[in-house]
Amino acid sequence: MIRVRQLEVLCAVIDLGTTSGAAEALSVSQPAVSNMIRHIEDLVGFPLFKREKGRLTPTPEALHIAQEAQHLFSQQKRVDRIIDQLRGGTVGQLNVIATPSIGYALLPRMIAEFTRSRPRVQLSLEVGSVDEIIQHLISGRADLGFSITSPRHSALSVRPMAAGDMVCACPPDHELAHARSINLLDLNHVRHISYGSGTPLGQMIDEVYSRHGTERRYFCEVRHTSTALEMVAAGAGVALVDSFALMGRARQDVSVRAIQPALSVTLHGVTSNLYPTSHVALQFQEFMREALSDPELPHRVEIT
């Protein structure tokens, strides 16, 4: 089987007309070219050049081969270009699935920024429950998941990406907006939005209440912190939300206050062990980790 390199040399000699010219064009020495031509002729079994008066003139066969070789070169360049794109992560597929608090505001922004320099990445962003995240990852429909509650599944790899806190979001004109710090138990005294006792978030909060011998009382139950946040923004009341839900949106319509006691949450990146994780997916995960750990970034929520 003839090698690409051999065809390259052949074509160079045909194009440039002399071995020395071809050698210069290929940045090799003249004897290298000369030997190669001789070698190819041995290989194919018929002369590729007529040697006359110390000059080389290509035979019709050589011209024919050179013509056909062009397609081969372009295919090789094409593969090379694709590898280059894969290396830069500018090509590929990235299917992300995340829980609502991350998926509604933070992730769209992150993805927008990430893909600005990678125009040829095929994207999808899905929002779903932890169970759906697990299903999408183990079935291979998603490459990368993000979740606050860490999914427990042996086929999944979970790694902590960033630390956050539960904070209190309230309308700017709300009485609590002026308090320095808000005790979690005080929420029982205002109309507020909270989460079902069956959800991980609800359980986390319930635990604090039960430690103090009281019970949580709220006027509206929602499932996602992002939903709660929308209601707060609409002036319906106050709510506890994780700080990730607040990231990535410029909100003049909600004030944010720290709570006592502090409740910390962690954003987890999740991948499947059943399939190799693509290069773009790993790049995006790293991109997220860095962006979230950078305190200068505008995604960051400052809690006044």
Partner DNA sequence: CATGGGGAATAACTTTCTATTATTTGTCTT
Partner DNA sequence: AAGACAAATAATAGAAAGTTATTCCCCATG
In the complex, the residues that contact DNA under the rule CB under 7 A are: 3, 5-6, 9, 17-21, 23, 26-32, 34-39, 49, 51, 53-56
CA dist 83 and 72 (Å) reads 17
Least Å distance between CB 235 and DNA? 51
**Residue closer to its own copies (CB basis): 29 or 67:** 67
| CB 201, CB 195: distance < 8 Å | yes
**Chosen from its own copies, DNA, none, partner binding at 254 (C-beta under 5 to 8 Å by type):** none
The candidate with the shortest Cα–Cα distance to 274, out of 185, 128, 102, 142, is 142
From DNA, its own copies, none, which one binds at residue 19 (CB under 5 to 8 Å depending on kind)?
Answer: DNA
Q: Are 138 and 185 in contact (CB under 8 A)?
A: no
Binder among 35, 93, 124, 293 for its own copies (CB under 8 A) = 93
* Closest C-alpha to 103, from 137, 146, 136: 146
- For residues 118-137, which are near its own copies according to CB under 8 A? none
Q: Which C-beta is closer to its own copies: that of 95 or that of 226?
A: 95
In whole angstroms, the minimum distance from the beta carbon of 129 to DNA comes to 31
Residue 39 interacting with its own copies (CB under 8 A): no
The CA-based dihedral angle spanning residues 66, 57, 60, 64, taken in that order and rounded to the nearest 10 degrees? 0
List the single partner that 61 binds among its own copies, DNA, none, CB under 5 to 8 Å by kind. its own copies
- One-letter amino acid identity for 171? P
- Select from its own copies, DNA, none the partner in contact with residue 212, using the beta carbon and a kind-dependent cut-off of 5 to 8 Å: none
Determine, following the binding rule CB under 8 A, whether residue 47 of this chain makes contact with its own copies: yes
- Closest separation between CB of residue 273 and DNA, Å? 12
The answer to whether residue 145 forms part of the interface with its own copies (CB under 8 A) is no
Query: Residues 39, 55, 87, 191: which binds its own copies (CB under 8 A)?
Result: 87
Q: Which amino acid is at 81?
A: R
Phi, psi of 89 (to 5 degrees): 70, 20
Question: What, of DNA, its own copies, none, does residue 65 touch, CB below 5 to 8 Å by kind?
Answer: its own copies
Q: Count of residues binding its own copies (CB under 8 A)?
A: 43
Examine residue 155 and tell whether it contacts its own copies (CB under 8 A): no
Helix (H, G, I), strand (E, B) or coil at 252: coil
- Under the binding rule (CB under 8 A), the answer on residue 59 touching its own copies is yes
Q: Does 45 bind its own copies (CB under 8 A)?
A: yes
Shortest CB 35 distance to DNA, Å: 6
DSSP β-bridge partners for residue 209: none
| Chain centroid, CA 241 distance in Å | 25
Residue 33 burial (10 A CB sphere; 0-12, 13-18, 19+): buried
Contact between 163 and 264 (Cβ < 8 Å): yes
3-16 burial, b at 16+ Cβ within 10 Å, e below that, comes to: eeebbbbbbbbbeb
For residue 60, the partner it binds in DNA, its own copies, none, with Cβ less than 5 to 8 A by kind, is: its own copies
Q: What type of residue is 210?
A: S
Cα 196 to Cα 242: distance, rounded to the nearest angstrom: 15
> What residue 87 binds from DNA, its own copies, none (CB within 5 to 8 A, per partner kind)?
its own copies
Residues sharing a CB contact under 8 Å with residue 34, sequence separation 6 or more, in sequence order: 19
65 touches its own copies (CB under 8 A):
yes
Residues that bind its own copies (CB under 8 A): 1-4, 7, 44-47, 49-50, 52, 57-61, 64-65, 67-69, 71-72, 75-76, 78-80, 82-83, 86-87, 92-93, 140, 273-279
